[in-house]
Amino acid sequence: MALKVAGSSPVTHPIYNMQLGNFELYPVSDGFFKLDGGAMFGVVPKVLWEKRMPPDQDNRIQMGLFCLLIKAAGKNILVNTGIGTKYSPRYHEIFRIQHPPNLIDSLAEHKVKPEDIDFVINTHLHFDHAGNNTKKVGDNAYEPTFPNARYVIQKAEWEKATNPNERTRASYMQENIRPLMDAKRLDLKDGSGEVMPGVMVYVTGGHTRGHQIVLIESQGQKAVYWSDLIPTVAHMDLPYIMGYDLFPEETLNHKRILLEQAIKERWLCFWEHDPKITCGYIERTEKGLIVKPV
């Protein structure tokens, strides 16, 4: 299945002030970082994936860190919190983290302060999705960055994140996670369901046991934040699944079902990690899937 991007050039910056029915959607950036290209594409040979995302001399590919601000019915909902700034020099060296922009400044562009956020939806708790969940306030002391928000997380994800094993420990930074319980800001979900009318979480598993995506609907219009189910536009073809996924067959099954639904119902799609294409519509042509950036 070939994948192409329609139009003369890809979108290289977030799209602002996007209306979806009665809701406003704002992609907000926490910068960029790099991950190993082989790990990002799993069993797909490099000779294929490098045509879509060329690697650097260390085989790393550029990744975006795009969260999503949803303004709905007087509430501010933030989907994921990026990579943050609490990482060590070693993390910076490995992942080539690039700030600016950072999430707090990106929110400020929309006149939103941390205390204005009502809900934070963590699709999962890996360090590049939950880094701004908390902020450092002293030596080895942390508190929620968004003090008035309920942090919406799957119970299964929370249990795995707070009890990681040898394979998952490096992805779950406890300073991003445990202070939420101490501050009593957790809203643990046991399965798919509404966060508020028009905004729901949908459990896909696959990447992690409790991985969830976010589905948005207002006045018959629909949108989806794919998170790590489909992290970039280059991952839309069904076999393109990350080596990081703990349950790749679950990823495959959900991609197969949800991509068809997204095409049929014309969902506005948001990709968290694509460094160039923040959002757009997926269409099927005789030559395969194409993406039409907004």
224 with 217: CB under 8 angstroms?
no
The whole-number pLDDT of residue 275 equals 97
For residue 17, the one-letter residue type is N
224 with 123: CB under 8 angstroms?
no
The whole-number pLDDT of residue 139 equals 87
Compute the distance between CA of residue 87 and CA of residue 138 in angstroms, rounded to an integer: 15
What's the pLDDT tens digit per position in 176-211? 999 999 999 999 999 999 999 999 999 999 999 999
Compute the distance between CA of residue 83 and CA of residue 65 in angstroms, rounded to an integer: 7
Q: Is 238 left (phi over 0), alpha (psi -120 to 50) or beta?
A: alpha
Distances (CA, A) of 67 to 42, 88, 225: 24, 22, 9
25 with 68: CB under 8 angstroms?
yes
Low-confidence ranges of the chain (pLDDT < 50): 1-15
User: What are the CB-based long-range contacts (under 8 Å, 24+) for 101-104?
Assistant: 101/29, 101/30, 101/31, 102/29, 102/30, 102/31, 103/28, 103/29, 103/30, 103/65, 103/67, 103/132, 104/132, 104/145
273 with 263: CB under 8 angstroms?
no
The whole-number pLDDT of residue 140 equals 87
CATH architecture of 2-293: 4-Layer Sandwich (3.60)
**Residue closest to 212 by CA, chosen among 83, 81, 124:** 124
Question: Which residues partner with 20 through β-bridges?
Answer: 23
The whole-number pLDDT of residue 217 equals 98
Compute the distance between CA of residue 18 and CA of residue 279 in angstroms, rounded to an integer: 10
